[in-house]
Amino acid sequence: MASPRLKQWFTILEWLPDARGRRLQDDLLAGVITALLLVPQGMALALLAGLPPVVGLYAGILPPLVYAVFGTSRTLAVGPVSVASLLVANALAGIGAEPGSTEWLQGAVMLAALSAGMLLVMGFLRLGELANFLSHPVLSGFTSGAAVVIIASQVPQLTGIPLPREDGLLTQLYALAIGLSGLRVGPLVFGGVSLILLWLARRSLVRWLARLGVSPRVALVASRAAPLVIVLGATGASALGGHALPGLTLVGDIPRGLPMPSLGFLGGETWRELLPAALVISLVGYVESVSVARVLAWRRRERVDPNQELIALGAANAGAALTGTMPVAGGFARSMVNFEAGARSQMAGVITALLVALAAVLFTPVFRYLPLAVLAAVIIVAVIPLIDLHALKAAWKFDRADGLALVVTFLGVILVDIELGLVFGLAVSLGVFLWRTGHPHAAAVGRVPGTEHFRNVDRHNVETWPHLLLLRVDESLYFANTAILEQAVAARVAEQPQLRHVVLVCSAVNRIDFSALETLEQLADNLARSGITLHLAEVKGPVMDRLRGSGLLEAMGGGRVFLSTEEAVEYLGTRVPPEAESPTGQG
């Protein structure tokens, strides 16, 4: 028996012994279905990354096998993914490589190696939580933007009109408009027909087959196989003479066979230049993978370990680098397909990988006549669902700031630069968070007559006392908001000349940092010089533990820490100083 510790690292020890009987059958079917989808998509994604189509198949062989050894998600489908392909092309164009050159291919492999290194290091340091700093709106804006950029990048293959690749959507639209005369019949026919068929297959095939009385299982397989069937059909049509249509570019010869392990990429020279791109590829790929893995795990009350996922995805990318292909991740759509097709364990991923390997060994020559326009259609149909207008509407409606972060990221990605767009979005979301916590809601409170409840004086009809200020701050106190708290107190001190006691009600203060401590000490001191005493009320246990060791309680002089606001009023309210009037609310 393997030790639990060993099983934690090598999850294959956990799932492999169970892979038999009905379970194995389920995994077999799911693996086949996913492979049917992956073969055309893999080739298309390789082209998106500016790589030979077979490299996309390679990305579906060793990486998922490695993931199956280490991964904690039973149903995550690891392999080539659209956003990573786009980022690879963007990064390599950014360092001035030529698509199709040796330098380009080597660069893609180096990116996989760098991602592997980063993910593994983060995994060993248990930094999985870093991914949490990509907020949902930023991620949504990024994914939608990347999908738009991907679609734009496929327009040349669909139309025959060359477009600049890196200059943002506006330039591309302009180039498209002035280049319309270059529209070519070949790609338009093949691409257009494929687009329509793929779209129909995706949207309606299962429903149609069900109406015809086909069993749901068969209908599912049929709908997942549709892209492959369409690709094969288009290849046939092209081979039978379609390839003579004007402007049509074909895939051409694809070398047959398996990738040979090689460390040749280590000789590359642009490691440093590729670092930022590799970081983005790793983070985005990781976040996408873990998000979908979590969603799927919940459905069967399984668990995903975010740190072990870093290790598993890092190892999968090491496998990608070793077999000369581009960075990989767990794809959202393909994982959903795998899950819905009934995958029970990582065995499904193993089956998929073996089938893709088989395709690489046996069937690549089949695709000789496949028009690139058809693969462009495959990509476009795959990424259209990534454009999430619903998220934009919902985010904007819930919170303008979140909507803004989404829009900034989206526009940054499509108009400026993919990676910069992500950085903009991160900056906005962190900035908004800091701005808000830096501007806490602080309300003077008074007592609801006849109760022990205290409410905002501006909103409720409550008792107040001229010698007493009860101030509730709805935020932890830290460096960015202490000055504002001090100003709020100062403003009220100026307004309330009879003031003798200020009570800070800390029921919503979860933490006090050193800057806040110093500000409070100074505030106590400043108030004391004006004959005003600072008190605290409703301080939480952990905060009180901290304060006890500090100089604040001393700086507060005669100031006390009250368990409740009511206790503060009882104690201070009954001692109205001679020169102060009687409480307004007590007649």
The answer to whether the CB of 292 falls within 8 A of the CB of 332 is yes
What is the Cα–Cα distance from 348 to 79, expressed in whole angstroms? 13
Rg (CA), the chain: 31
Q: Does 540 bind a second copy (CB under 8 A)?
A: yes
Taking CB under 8 A as the rule, which mask of x and - marks residues 297-336 in contact with a second copy?
Answer: -xx-x-x--x------------------------------
What is the Cα–Cα distance from 169 to 534, expressed in whole angstroms? 59
Instruction: Report DSSP state, residue 101.
Output: S
DSSP per position, 419-466: HHHHHHHHHHHHHHHHHHHHS--EEEEEEPTTSS-EEETTTS--B-BT
Cβ proximity to a second copy: between 464 and 476 the closer is: 476
The answer to whether the CB of 43 falls within 8 A of the CB of 367 is yes
Q: Does 518 bind a second copy (CB under 8 A)?
A: yes
**Residue positions counted in the chain:** 587
- Alpha helices by DSSP H, listed for 363-399, are 372-383, 389-398
How much helix, strand and coil, in percent to the nearest 5, is found in the chain? 65, 5, 25
Taking CB under 8 A as the rule, which mask of x and - marks residues 393-412 in contact with a second copy?
Answer: -xx-xxx-xxx---------
Where does this chain touch a second copy (CB under 8 A) — which range of 151-159, 201-209, 332-340, 540-548?
A: 540-548
Taking CB under 8 A as the rule, which mask of x and - marks residues 414-453 in contact with a second copy?
Answer: ---------------xx--xx-xxxxxx------------
Indicate which single residue of 252, 264, 542, 557 sits in contact with a second copy (rule: CB under 8 A): 542
Instruction: State which H helix or E strand residue 211 sits in.
Output: helix 185-211
Provide, rounded to whole angstroms, the least separation between the CB of residue 540 and a second copy: 7
Indicate which single residue of 120, 517, 556, 561 sits in contact with a second copy (rule: CB under 8 A): 517
Where does this chain touch a second copy (CB under 8 A) — which range of 235-243, 341-349, 371-379, 539-547?
A: 539-547
Provide, rounded to whole angstroms, the least separation between the CB of residue 574 and a second copy: 26
Where does this chain touch a second copy (CB under 8 A) — which range of 55-63, 234-242, 257-265, 484-492?
A: 484-492
At 11, which amino acid appears? T
**Total of residues contacting a second copy (CB under 8 A):** 68
Q: Does 124 bind a second copy (CB under 8 A)?
A: no
CA-based angle 291:297:299, to the nearest 5?
110
Cβ proximity to a second copy: between 394 and 411 the closer is: 394
Indicate which single residue of 551, 554, 557, 575 sits in contact with a second copy (rule: CB under 8 A): 551
At 16, which amino acid appears? L
Q: What is the largest CA-CA distance in the chain?
A: 105
Q: By the criterion CB under 8 A, which residues form the site for a second copy?
A: 129, 131-137, 294-295, 298-299, 301, 303, 306, 394-395, 397-399, 401-403, 429-430, 433-434, 436-441, 474-476, 478-484, 486-487, 490, 493-494, 507-508, 510-511, 513-515, 517-519, 522, 526, 529-530, 540, 542, 546, 549-551
